[in-house]
A and B are shown apart, each in its own frame.
Chain A
Amino acid sequence: MIANIPYLAVVGLIVIGLSAVLFRKNIIKMIIGITLIEAGVNLFLITLGYREGSIAPIWTSSPGGVMAYPVPQALTLTSIVIGVAVTALMLSLAIHIYRHHGTLDVRKIGGDDQ
């Protein structure tokens, strides 16, 4: 139980990100919130493969040791690139929303039409 305390950083990141998405009214801040959630999930993924005292899974001439698991690192890499793509698309939509409304405040942007 006590050894799991470091994982709470993941919860912290995800909750901060979610609350930003849910409570912030500025679109850019919502996007930042989503990237925070993403960071939390990526952090969790990469810690899953960590072994105490391990080295990176790369063979060099230096003395070896226990190696960290490579699969979570590869998954994190994939997930980071996906995150970049999503963020790019969200930002470009935000630029368009700003063009149409002159504001990024969700309360001032139309909202639901039945």
Chain B
Amino acid sequence: MSFLDQLIIHGPALLIALPLLGAFLTPLIGRVNDKLRNLFVIIILGITAILILLLAQEIFASGPITYVFGSTAPYVGKETVIRILFEIDALSIFMAMIGIILSFAAAIYSWAFMEKNTGLDKYYALLLLLTVGMLGMVLTGDMFNFFVFLEITSISSCALIAYYVNKAKSVEAGFKYIVVSTIGALFVLMAIALLYGQYDALNIAKLADSITFSFVDKIALVLLLAALAMKGGIVPMHMWLPDAYSRAPASVSLVLIGTTQAGLYGVFRVLFTLYGNVIELPTISMGWILVILGLLTMLVGVIMAMIQVDFKRLIAYGAVAELGYMFLGVGTCLTVLANPEVTLAQAPFAFEALKGGLFHVFNDALDVGLLFMVAGAVYYATKQTSLNSLGGLARNMKYTTVFFIIGLLAVSGVPPMNGFASKLLIYESTYQLNPILSIVAILASIMLLAIFVKVFHAAFLGPALPQFEKVKEVPKSMLIAMGIIAAFIVLFGLFPDLIVNTIVDPAANALIDNTGYLQWLTGGA
């Protein structure tokens, strides 16, 4: 067996073990040399990214991979699943790609952005741990393991949000975040305990196979959805999100988007896979709840974004609005899927909506990430965050301005950027469910465009301000990081069909049809 085969076989374990090893080693290497440590972190994340690509190739070619920890005999019979296993299908690897791109960009961005701060050994270790948590959440096939990684993500992101401890607001944002996410995680644990108490299993596939949708299951579903939607920042539970995003260092905000998406992944996995066999039972209402929450999220995000004067806080509310689109797309799909009278073949728009929603998960991560990095660059150059005191930066920060224009167009869904590609899918498909939905969605997009054009005008155009005369373009590492993300945005915008067909389509298929996920259990492979 060649080395490459071995790498793919042990890939799922290495994806977690490698960044984890990096996190344990980072403080040791940081004692030797600072630059070496930065390089080490970037290399570790780079290798992880390559591994993810290798695995993705394998999964898109030949279906889900399972990896059992601790034994070569994966399970004993079909009745008992004893050990923890990773189960990676197209959706998992899709989310893992998002996470690793964000972390990789954040690590490069941090090189110059965080250079003048102290405590960087721990900062980089926590960044790697956050990546571990994110990857673990999306790759795992075990409910309790999911909870453990959820906690790793919460704890590391809380510490990173409170990075600027000398600012009271950052500490408060961190505290708010940890309280909210701990209670959420405990709800998740309670739900896991309820499921374990009934079915004596912790494995997602095993649970999905035996779930009967009793009353206790419904309570567990509510607990899981409430907690995970909160992690995902969906509207009645979004209060922590703007604080956390805007008070964290820009590089951390970037990765935080990934953790929010991992929360959304949890929602999707619970709805479509864990409760996938009984999805027809909760009638149509579940999908409509998602749709309405999505619309609310959109509107609240856009309206709150309008009145912000803080650059990063405004983007954070923009990010909230973007989250609404994903819920709208997925909810639309669920309304059809949960309706026993309509099959999927009769309503092809449902699948389009799901694809749009999932594609938008990727696009939102890139677009909002780029905007956060631009906001960080502006802060780095001017030490200002309030839009009222910014102005005329386009003269001195040419590249940053270009990146902001790309991000602005992408986030508000203007062709030819990637945001347009996914939003178009969502508009078209939701229109067929109910025209009002797509009208609201388009309206929210137009408002986003207006808001960000205003920001562009306020920060980058206008007369040169005397206090910003000496402002210089940001260092290369930050430009490279922004460039990577911007390149992805343009690439996705120019060839949306390619991306949709190669990675989004398998992910949507994996979500809609959970037989692939349960295959090894029900005796397929």
- Where the two chains meet, the residues of A that have a C-beta atom closer than 8 Å to any C-beta of B are 14, 18, 21, 27, 30, 34, 37-38, 41, 44-45, 48, 71-72, 75, 78-79, 82, 85-86, 89-90, 93-94, 96-97, 100-101, 109-110, 112-114
Contact = CB atoms under 8 A, between A and B. Distances in A.
Contacts of B217: none
B230 interface: no
A86 B162 contact: no
Please provide the 4 A-B residue pairs with the shortest distance between their CB atoms, ordered closest to farther.
A100-B168, A93-B175, A96-B171, A48-B197
A34 B183 contact: yes
Contact of B175 (A18, A27, A113): A27
A86 B168 contact: no
A30 to B, nearest CB: 7
B178 A100 contact: no
Given A78-B148, A100-B171, A89 B189 contact: no
B171 A30 contact: no
Interface in B227-252: 239, 243
Contacts of B183: 18, 21, 34, 37
6 contacts: A21-B179, A45-B196, A85-B151, A90-B178, A100-B168, A101-B168
A89 B189 CA distance: 20
A85 B155 contact: yes
Contacts of A79: 147, 189
B307 A44 contact: no
B202 to A, nearest CB: 8
Interface string B148-187: 1001001100110010010011011011001100110010
Given A41-B193, A44-B193, A34 B148 contact: no
Given A37-B183, A93-B178, A75 B144 contact: yes
Chain B binding surface SS class: helix
B220 to A, nearest CB: 12
Counting contact residues on chain B (CB < 8 A from A), the size range is 20 to 34
Contact of A86 (B147, B169, B182, B202): B182
Contact of A44 (B148, B154, B190, B239): B190
B144 A94 contact: no
B307 A114 contact: yes
Contacts of B171: 93, 96-97, 100
A96 B161 CA distance: 13
B39 to A, nearest CB: 29
A113 B169 contact: yes
A86 B178 contact: yes
Contacts of B169: 110, 113
B186 A97 contact: no
Given A45-B196, A78-B148, A89-B158, 20 more contacts: A34-B182, A34-B183, A34-B186, A41-B189, A44-B190, A45-B193, A72-B196, A75-B144, A82-B148, A86-B151, A86-B154, A89-B155, A90-B178, A93-B171, A93-B178, A97-B171, A110-B168, A110-B172, A112-B243, A114-B308
Given A48-B197, A114-B308, A86 B175 contact: no
Contact of B190 (A41, A82, A85, A101): A41
A45 B154 CA distance: 21
A113 B170 CA distance: 12
Contact of B196 (A41, A48, A82): A48
B148 A89 contact: no
* B172, B183, B196 pick with most chain A CB within 10 angstroms: B172
A37 B181 CA distance: 13
Nearest to B190: A41
B195 to A, nearest CB: 11
Contacts of B304: 114
